[in-house]
Chains A and B, each alone.
Chain A
Amino acid sequence: MKLSPKLKISIIILFLVVFFLVLNLTNSSKTIKNFFYSISSPIQKTFWKAGDNISGFLKAISINRDSKNEIDNLKLTIEELRAENNKLRELKQENEFLRESLEIGLEKEFQLSLAEVIGKDISEDTLLINKGSNDGISENFPVINQRKALIGRIGTVYKDFSKVVLISNKESFFDAEISEKEVQGIIKGKGGNKLLLDLIPLAAEINKGELVTTASLGGIFPKGLLVGEVKEIMKNDIQPFQQAEIEPSFNLGNIKILFIITNF
């Protein structure tokens, strides 16, 4: 007896359906699975170990890459924080500077404009500041620090910047007095952050450490600004006047912020 192909296929499908039903409805599927698990376990263990090792290695690479990205991001954050910290430090300095000036009541005495030093030329005794004609700055405006110590006067004025000619500049000279004794003289810049008090009458008795302030005679600077203190006295009977070396009351290395007196 020869079966037709359609019948053959139907018989096969029927057989398979019955086979799977028997497998699923009885415990025989468990037996078959158990048999295959037992013969596969050695190979599975090997494959599992290999897969675990390789995936672990790949994960380590991936983690390494992630860490690199994280490090880059953290570096960026550090840079940002450093910049912010720097800015805050500058603000703190400015704040302290203003507080000191408030303590001695500078703002009541003069009209002031705050400026930052952005450049120094020690060889020429000049400073470059970030205020210029656009900020209402003009030539010869006095420049002081927060302790009312005279630093210099405005020299060349640009639109947004100005040059400050320090009192120690060789071209700088103005009237000054030894404040406690009303002994007057002329301060001359000697260059290199040095000052000389000249034309002091021979009769006047001056001592080391005495404070020198501006006098009102010249009219360039307001009276009473601190210039420095007497460092050395040069007295000679042959000459009609005595001289004194003055130590400026400001430290050129520390000047970062200063005041320009716009009206006095």
Chain B
Amino acid sequence: MKKVLILAISLYILTLLQTSFLIHFNIFLNNYWVFNLVLVTVFLISFFASYYQWQGVMAAFIGGFFLDIFSENFFGFYILILVILSLFIKFVLKKYVQIPSIKSKAVF
């Protein structure tokens, strides 16, 4: 529960940063695109968290929720995108990427 709370607060602050602070630095693609901090964070959490753990999908859900709060799209738009992204990353990592762990090295 504590982890979820920390994750939620962090993503909330990141969303606020993105919508209130980074919006001033729309330097990408002829000043049209803004750096999506929440998307990148969710991507990184999904990528680095173990695929047996829930942090990736949870981060996607909470991040998407906050992005939806501050966007004009229908509610669930960002949640859908981020959860799908997180699940996709987990699927690719599970199916196609083998990350050698310390344990496996020790056994070898």
Residues of A in contact with B (beta carbons under 8 Å apart)? 16, 20, 23-24, 29, 32-33, 36-37, 40, 43-45, 47-48, 50-52, 54-55, 58
B25: chain A residues at CB < 8 Å are: 51, 54-55, 58
Q: Judging by beta carbons under 8 Å apart, are A24 and B75 in contact?
A: yes
At the interface with chain A, which of B12-20, B45-53, B88-96? B12-20
Not counting A40-B12, A51-B21, A58-B25, a sample of 9 additional A-B residue pairs whose C-beta atoms are within 8 angstroms of each other reads A20-B75, A23-B75, A29-B75, A33-B69, A36-B66, A43-B16, A43-B20, A44-B20, A55-B24
Give the 10 A-B CB pairs with smallest separation, nearest first: A47-B20, A55-B24, A51-B24, A20-B76, A51-B21, A47-B21, A44-B20, A23-B75, A48-B20, A29-B75
Which residues of chain B have a CB within 8 Å of any CB of chain A?
Answer: 12-13, 16-17, 19-25, 66, 69-70, 74-76, 79
- Which residue on B lies nearest to A52, using beta carbons? B24
Q: Which residues of B contact A52 (CB under 8 A)?
A: 24
Which residue of chain B has the shortest Cβ distance to A39 in the bound complex? B12
Q: Smallest Cβ distance from A38 to chain B, in angstroms?
A: 12
B78 to chain A, nearest CB (A): 12
Kindly state the separation between the CA atoms of A47 and B21 in the bound complex, as whole angstroms: 5
Residues of A within 8 A of B69 (CB): 32-33, 36-37
Complex Cα gap A139–B70 (Å): 93
Q: Are A48 and B75 in contact (CB under 8 A)?
A: no
Q: How far is the CA of A48 from the CA of B21 in the complex (A)?
A: 5
Q: Looking across the interface, which residue of chain B has its beta carbon closest to that of A34?
A: B69
A51→B20 contact, CB < 8 A: yes
A-B contact pairs, 9 of them (CB 8 A): A20-B79, A40-B12, A47-B16, A47-B17, A48-B21, A48-B24, A51-B20, A51-B21, A55-B24
- Residue numbers in A under 8 Å from B13 (CB-CB): 43
Contact A44 B19 (CB under 8 A): yes
Which B residues lie within 8 Å of A43 (CB)?
A: 13, 16, 20
